[in-house]
Amino acid sequence: MDYVTLGQTGLKVSKLCLGTMTYGDPGWRSWVLPEDAGRPFIKRALEYGINFFDTADMYSIGASEEILGRAVRDFARRDDVVVATKVFHPMSADPNDRGLSRKHIMSSIDGSLRRLGTDYVDLYQIHRWDPETPIEETLLALHDVVRSHATSLEGSGETGHREAAARAVERPPVVGTFEAAPLAPACGGEGCVAMRAAIVERRGSAPVVP
């Protein structure tokens, strides 16, 4: 397996990343594999040198994170694995249990860590853009997640955030509070928007995937 630097960070990841949306609860989506059928894929990935695994809190409403966490515990050393997860989608009927508000981000990172059985993730991503929450609120919350050591890097897991990035950079009094954060853009090149607050846009069709 070949390893590359994740964008402009110092993090080394395998060129292949195993996404775990398809492992979880078949009751959530008919094409999802249950844990006993999904674990062998994670084990084989680790055996072939893949160290980069991507999940999200909304995949099978948390079951995907639980399965990945148990597999990492059983088949690898946590520090040898790069785990990425995401936040945005509804996790319950509660109106605050969704989006990119500070309340939801803080609650969601705690829930993800609990389900993954770890005290940190390597990359915490916003899954979608939230037009109902001020970008300043989202950035401040993500910055505090980093400061709490619950994640090392922040990112964006979907397209469509170029406008949001531009809006944030246009507000130096707010974004300036992040300039001392020990973060770097997690991707580079055309199609990748890096903000001074270390939020980035990831587009699979553009040259931003290692």
Residues with a catalytic annotation lie at: 59
Question: Rounded distance, CA 71 to CA 121, Å?
Answer: 15
Instruction: For residues 57 and 87, give the distance between their C-alpha atoms in angstroms, rounded to a whole number.
Output: 6
How distant is the alpha carbon of residue 170 from its chain centre? 25
- Tokens coding 170: 């246009």
Q: Is 107 helix (H, G, I), strand (E, B) or coil?
A: helix
Scored b (16 or more CB within 10 A) or e, 18-33 reads bebbbbbbeebeeebb
